């Protein structure tokens, strides 16, 4: 039988089992998974770049410090 594969947890850097037995994979625990989810939900993760013309006029796109028209 193959040895279980271990990967690095993207949140804490610890070992995480990459197998169906780990319901939180690629994370090592539910705690790490929840921390990562919270970071996404609070917009802590962002992709650097300019806002395209299409995005700038899209409804629901709020930009801080932009005067009302």
Integer Cα distance of 42 and 63 in angstroms: 15
> Which pLDDT does position 21 carry in this prediction?
94
- pLDDT recorded at residue 46: 81
H/E segment holding residue 43? none
Each residue's pLDDT expressed in tens, for the chain with a length of 69 residues: 678 899 999 999 999 999 999 999 999 999 999 999 999 899 888 887 877 777 666 666 565 655 555
Q: Does domain 6-56 have CATH number 3.30.830.10?
A: no
Domain extent listing, the chain: 6-56
């Amino acid at each position: 039988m193959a040895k279980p594969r271990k990967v690095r947890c993207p949140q804490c850097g610890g070992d995480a089992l990459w197998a169906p037995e780990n319901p939180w994979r690629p994370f090592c625990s539910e705690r790490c998974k929840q921390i990562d989810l919270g970071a996404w939900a609070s917009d802590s993760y962002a992709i650097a770049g300019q806002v395209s013309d299409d995005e700038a006029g899209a409804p629901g796109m709020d930009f801080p410090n932009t005067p009302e028209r």
